[in-house]
Amino acid sequence: MYAVSFYDADPDARPEDFQRIVEAYPRHRAYLDDFARSGDVLMIGTFGEPATQGSMAVFRSREAAERFVTGDPFVTEGLVYRHRIQDWDPLVFAPS
């Protein structure tokens, strides 16, 4: 069972709110790079327009997703409007 975390964008965000995210990004990226060394995050990225559509990440377990979210500077600095983690049981196809 995998886990997917979603970070939702604030629908009422102003440009200066997004600027705070831009300024915090280096801390978020350093945290992500360090976390990725564990192998517990498989994929992470933004949707088409991150300021309005948010982002998601796929983790090997719920525990890993919870651990990531708990320490992510975007969350700890109050820059994420809302986040949630959902368990995911995908059907995986072997490469042909």
Q: Give the model's pLDDT for residue 92.
A: 86
User: What is the reported pLDDT for 18?
Assistant: 84
Contact in structure between 77 and 23 (CB atoms under 8 Å): no
Q: Could you tell me if 76 and 7 are in contact, meaning their C-beta atoms sit under 8 angstroms apart?
A: no
Cβ-in-10-Å burial (0-12, 13-18, 19+) of 3 comes to buried
pTM: 0.90
Kindly list the structural domains of the chain, giving each domain's residue range(s) and its CATH number in brackets, ordered by start. 2-88 (3.30.70.1060)
- Mean pLDDT per 10-residue interval, the chain, length 96 residues: 95 85 95 97 93 93 98 95 96 88
Predicted pLDDT at 49: 86
